[in-house]
Amino acid sequence: MVFTANGADGHIFRAVWAKSGLTVRAFPPSSQKKSISVGKSPEAIPSENEWLPIEIQLRGETATIKSGNDVFRAEHPSFQRPKQNLSIGFSFGSLAVKDLSVTAIPSP
């Protein structure tokens, strides 16, 4: 599963869950690369055919991802850019989403 937060100039943040665990990527606007890895959590492996509660908080330069019982934090300056939309995707099998909520908290 892939969760992406996008801004006016493209991707900002991406969390990817796979059989190898969770990978978090940042998309700096000035980077020569499309994205950079800002951390991995091999413990956050999704189980097939089971609901996995996920909570993602993007506050300033910090991303906090709660995936089941695993909590992972990553930091990158590009995370603080304004977000315009979010997307959830997957590349094989099926994906179901329930009890989805998105809360925008204004910056002070």
User: Which mean pLDDT values do the consecutive 10-residue runs of the chain (108 residues) have?
Assistant: 90 90 89 80 76 88 90 94 90 77 73
Q: What is the pLDDT of residue 101?
A: 81
How does strand 10-18 pair with strand 21-26? antiparallel
Q: What's the confidence (pLDDT) of residue 31?
A: 61
pLDDT at 85: 92
Look at residue 79 in the predicted model and tell me its pLDDT: 94
pTM for the model stands at: 0.84
What was the pLDDT predicted at 98? 79
